[in-house]
A = this chain, B = another copy of it.
Amino acid sequence: MTTDVSKYRLNHTMYRIKDPKASIGFYTEALGMKLLDTMHNEAAKFSLYFLGYEDPASSGVARLARQGVLELTHNHGTEADAAFAYDTGNGDAGGYGHIAVTVDDLDAACERLDKLGVRFIKRPTEGRMRHIAFVADPDGYRVELLANPAHAA
């Protein structure tokens, strides 16, 4: 048996979400991702949602052959439990940090997200790092926003 590591790809990142309606809304409407695929397992009571951007390198490429996919896992029932919340990784000794989305224009992207009511953790004007922002998704997971120089005007 042989394997060629040059064919390996960083396909996806997975985290768990409390309420798919809220999260799918956030990632598609606010962040502009596409819902690429959905899997429901009624016996084991969970659903998987796969999202990503349709860049030229990914368009028409099978979900497992591309990079830049976000997998959201929903364990059925958590959305109805008011007290339930996931640890999103950024507390004491929390290891997980964030995903990062590169945008064409950081100020314009932040203005648009502000109008959509997205919660900001750090605006570009806050702190020392002018070139990045952080928003929170519905569970509180951090999403970094930063400008992609290749798309700057």
Residues of A within 8 A of B (CB): 1-17, 31-33, 52-55, 57-58, 61-62, 64-71, 73, 84-89, 93-105, 107-109, 111-112, 139, 141, 144, 146-151
**How many copies make up the complex?**
2
A8 to chain B, nearest CB (A): 5
In the complex where A1-B105, A105-B2 touch, is A10 in contact with B148 (Cβ < 8 A)? no
Closest 3 CB pairs of A and B: A5-B32, A67-B68, A86-B95
- Expressed in whole angstroms, the Cα–Cα distance for A32 and B55 within the complex equals 24
Q: Which of B3, B11, B31 touches A8 (beta carbons < 8 Å)?
A: B31
Do A3 and B108 touch (CB < 8 A)? yes
- A109: chain B residues at CB < 8 Å are 3, 8
Q: Which of B8, B65, B71, B85 touches A150 (beta carbons < 8 Å)?
A: B65
Do B9 and A68 touch (CB < 8 A)? yes
